[in-house]
Structure 1
Amino acid sequence: MSSTTAGTPFPAETMRYIRAQFAQLEHDAHGTARLFFENSGGSLRLRRATERAQEVSLCPESTSRPNEAAQRLARVQHDGEADLLAFFGGEPSGALLHTATASQAMFTVVRTITDNVPGTNIVTTAIEHPSSYDACARYAERTGRELRVAEPDTSTGGIDPAALAALVDTGTSLVSVIATSNITGAITDIPAVVAAVRAKNPAVHIVTDAVQYAPHGVIDAAGWGIDAVNIAPYKMFGDRGNAFTYLSPRLAALDHDRLAGAASTTWNIGSAAPAMYAGFTTIMDYLATIGGAAPEVGRREAITAGLRAIHHHEQALLHTLLEGTTLRPGLRALPGVRVHFADQGIRARDLIVPLTFDNLSCADAVRAYGEHGIVVYERVATSHYSARILHALGLEGIVRVSPLHCHTVEEAEHFLAVTEKIARHAAG
């Protein structure tokens, strides 16, 4: 019997329910058995979320029409918007922006802030996703502002709030900081960042990329005191092709692109897509179910209970991968394998393990895992998505291992056995 000393795995009955909800969990679309540990490139999909979105997408009605079918669609969208505010922990007077991608939303938000908020500089970090870093760089150049970049702590792979705040002054109009690095797995202490930044400049606008963080932890936009936070449902068990961003009341009120007849805080241009809201609500239903909160609690409380249960289970998986179990040694104990940024402890980490092999390139390691039926991915400096981040961390590449809460301790043990075999074979 395997065991773990950190985190709290889901009970067996809950785990059976969870695994039954996901499509292609144990086999790919062609029926080939596999272990999908590449969820930071997307995520395994909830069957019902996709099915529900498809059901709604078949409806031809417009939500603005008075007939009953149209009004049902309007209620679907209304419920989805309410669920988004509950998920984000946003203020009711804030706004929601629906875009095709989270990257598109980040460019829109950064441009709007720089168009409206005077300043001499923009502050961001070297480990931002290109959508936020490049948006900051682009609009800093267009508006003649200095781009100030906080370097990461190379021992943790994350951002020190004090180091970021040290770059802020009275001329800073915007701070952009990622909630979780999709390469190192380091979680940023957003409340600490906000406190440190606003101590230097209380008026600064702070935006957060939470695409990687969203499926693993609780977002609290109002409690954190941030002005914008974006998510992408394809990273949290849903479909590609849509993303959502929460905007604080003061950001929502800034002048922005909108139809002339729309309310001043309306950010969506054109007709809504009720199917996308339906899919999101289904994801929230799932979170509420696995969280096991009492039926009488509010929607926000039920959603956060599910996310906290996910976090506890994923902490157990992360501990298993790093430290092993009574049956298997962990990655940190395997000869020829190096786990990066593991010394910070697991509580400040998402379920991402960046590793390298002493005697094997990242690309060859990914191929070796594939030969054993395990899907992982390499993030290498030849990719524009990864180069700046890796170089800031002093690396040329890593093998990124990213399971999900639907995986088991036993599957983590299987991964450890395969890794030991690959390392031993590479050493000759």
Structure 2
Amino acid sequence: MIEDRPGLMEAIRDRFAHVETCPFDGPRIFFENAGGALRLKSVIETSAAYAGYPDNQGRDNPASRTLMAAIDRGRADMRRFLNAPGGQVFVGESGTEVLFRLIRTAALGAAPGGVMLGSTLEHPASRSAMARWAEVTGRPHLLAAHDDATGTVSLDAYLALLTPEVRVATIVQTSPVTGMAVDVAAIAAAIRVKAPQAFIIIDGIQHASHGHIDCAAYGADGYAVSPYKVFSRHGYGVGWASDRLTDCTKEQIVGGPAAAWELGTRDAGAYATFSDVVAYFDWLGGQVSDAGEPRARIEAAAAAIHDHEARLMQAMLNGTGNARGLAEMPGVTLIGGPVVEGREGVVSLTLDGMSSAELVRHLADHGMRVHIRKDDHYCGNILHPLGLADCVRVSVCHYNTTAEVARFLAAMELAVSR
């Protein structure tokens, strides 16, 4: 859809900084989006402006009122982006810190006893928080096993461990290693049937830039986003908490607002830069649809992004033009298999006869920015069961093009020939 519309891809790429050239390393194709997406130019401008404002919030002067208005606007935009009309939206230190805080509050606020349930697919941000607070509260931490062959975790895997004893449950929406999505709505609904009082926390960090978010439809209690993975910048995380999770006891300033999740003075620029992100989705939705309402335009943008990235994945895995895809290249192993459906912008692979570090360097020499993932505390949950010490992660976003994928495949053919 995006590349089918004359001029749209050029307009999209013009809104991002450093699309074709690294400011330190020169021309390159950016296929490291899972490690952090390209930044909107508007985000950079807004960050610089708000970093320079000396005034603080809550004062009786025009500057302070301007900051407060930016925060209010940012919160409204967060709700619209997440489709979260109820509960509380807030800014934290990072997506990881937001997950820790949501999970800590849920673990301490849940009914005594019972178990905490997650999956082996999860990023250590949520899995580590669950392990920590399961230990503190004396609960077993159960893990639904993901499928090595498909690179995702199924509803059936959760159902095998679901009982009325579940107090807190976590679900990762998209794996940052395999790139495969999880049916969070179905899993959350199943948890509600078996354990209706369980707190459900969703890690949406890897998913946010690739598709539709609908907290109102998930039936969950918490959601976390890392804005630097969705066209904003480092230095903050975005969280949503349901009303019942917000009602739990949590760290707060004595005498402060009961619903407050934030500690201390937050950066108004964080809210303002997230508004830039939402404004971009709104703009893109207006380019690909006739939707009249802002939320409808956001949904249209998400659909267009999903469609375009599926085309990129189809080209990368199965070929484009005269170039064969990764699935056809001898010696290439694809984590999660060669499927396109359910894959959100990420392909992780190994190549026989060439170490992952060598392949990353080879691709860099041919103008491709990709990343190595290792059997460590970040990715060992995926790689160790496969007997892999490491892999190469190639991750695309909707501002990448089919022509860039073709150049990547040509570079991979050279690696295969070696």
Same structural fold, with TM-score higher than 0.5 when normalized by the shorter chain: yes
**Residue number in structure 2 paired with 1:265:** 259
CA offsets per residue over residues 168-220 of structure 1, 9 Å max, x none? 21211011110000000010001111122222211111101110000001111
Mapping of 1:368-387 within 5 angstroms? 368-381=362-375, 383-387=376-380
Q: Does 1:249 align with 2:243?
A: yes
Structure-2 separation of matches of 1:407 and 1:150: 34
SS in 1 for 2:90: strand
Structure-2 separation of matches of 1:323 and 1:390: 24
SS in 2 for 1:208: strand
Q: Does 1:111 align with 2:98?
A: no
**Residue number in structure 2 paired with 1:75:** 69
**Kept in 2: contact 1:14–1:290 (CA 8 A):** no
Moved over 4 A (4+): 293-296
Q: Does 1:326 align with 2:326?
A: no
Mapping of 1:307-346 within 5 angstroms? 307-343=302-338, 345-346=339-340
**Residue number in structure 1 paired with 2:416:** 423
Structure-1 separation of matches of 2:290 and 2:331: 50
Change (3 A) 1:129 1:331: same
Identity %: 33
**Residue number in structure 2 paired with 1:4:** none
SS in 2 for 1:215: coil
Structure-2 separation of matches of 1:192 and 1:180: 14
Per mean C-alpha deviation after superposition, the further-off stretch among 386-395 and 271-280 is 386-395
Structure-2 separation of matches of 1:265 and 1:90: 16
**Residue number in structure 1 paired with 2:278:** 284
SS in 2 for 1:363: helix
Structure-2 separation of matches of 1:102 and 1:231: 5
Q: How much does 1:394 deviate?
A: 4.9
Structure-2 separation of matches of 1:171 and 1:228: 19
SS in 2 for 1:398: strand
Structure-2 separation of matches of 1:74 and 1:420: 54
Structure-1 separation of matches of 2:9 and 2:281: 13
Per mean C-alpha deviation after superposition, the further-off stretch among 332-341 and 411-420 is 332-341
Q: How much does 1:10 deviate?
A: 5.2
**Kept in 1: contact 2:291–2:297 (CA 8 A):** no
**Kept in 1: contact 2:291–2:300 (CA 8 A):** no
**Kept in 2: contact 1:126–1:392 (CA 8 A):** no
Q: How much does 1:8 deviate?
A: 5.9
Mapping of 1:220-239 within 5 angstroms? 220-239=214-233
Structure-1 separation of matches of 2:114 and 2:3: 49
Structure-2 separation of matches of 1:204 and 1:88: 21
- Match for residue 11 of structure 2 among 12, 17, 23: 17
**Kept in 2: contact 1:91–1:248 (CA 8 A):** no
Change (3 A) 1:232 1:247: same
- Match for residue 203 of structure 1 among 197, 200, 205: 197
SS in 2 for 1:245: strand
Change (3 A) 1:113 1:412: same
Per mean C-alpha deviation after superposition, the further-off stretch among 170-179 and 296-305 is 296-305
- Match for residue 149 of structure 1 among 137, 143, 154: 143
**Kept in 2: contact 1:211–1:230 (CA 8 A):** yes
Please report the TM-score for the alignment, with normalisation by the length of structure 1: 0.94
Mapping of 1:341-356 within 5 angstroms? 341-343=336-338, 345-356=339-350
Structure-2 separation of matches of 1:323 and 1:8: 20
Change (3 A) 1:338 1:190: same
- Match for residue 407 of structure 2 among 408, 414, 423: 414
Structure-1 separation of matches of 2:206 and 2:4: 22
**Kept in 2: contact 1:8–1:316 (CA 8 A):** no
Please report the TM-score for the alignment, with normalisation by the length of structure 2: 0.96
SS in 2 for 1:137: helix
Q: Does 1:402 align with 2:392?
A: no
SS in 1 for 2:407: helix
CA offsets per residue over residues 246-288 of structure 1, 9 Å max, x none? 0011111111111122221111111131111111111111111
Per mean C-alpha deviation after superposition, the further-off stretch among 307-316 and 239-248 is 307-316
SS in 1 for 2:185: helix
**Kept in 1: contact 2:20–2:29 (CA 8 A):** yes
SS in 1 for 2:121: coil
AA aligned to 2:97 is Q
**Kept in 1: contact 2:284–2:297 (CA 8 A):** no
Q: Which runs of 5+ in 1 are unaligned?
A: 1-6
**Kept in 2: contact 1:9–1:312 (CA 8 A):** no
Q: How much does 1:54 deviate?
A: 1.6
**Residue number in structure 2 paired with 1:3:** none
Q: Which runs of 5+ in 2 are unaligned?
A: none
Q: How much does 1:391 deviate?
A: 2.0
Change (3 A) 1:78 1:280: same
**Residue number in structure 2 paired with 1:298:** 293
SS in 2 for 1:412: helix
SS in 2 for 1:50: helix
Q: How much does 1:88 deviate?
A: 0.9
Structure-2 separation of matches of 1:66 and 1:309: 44
Structure-2 separation of matches of 1:141 and 1:99: 24
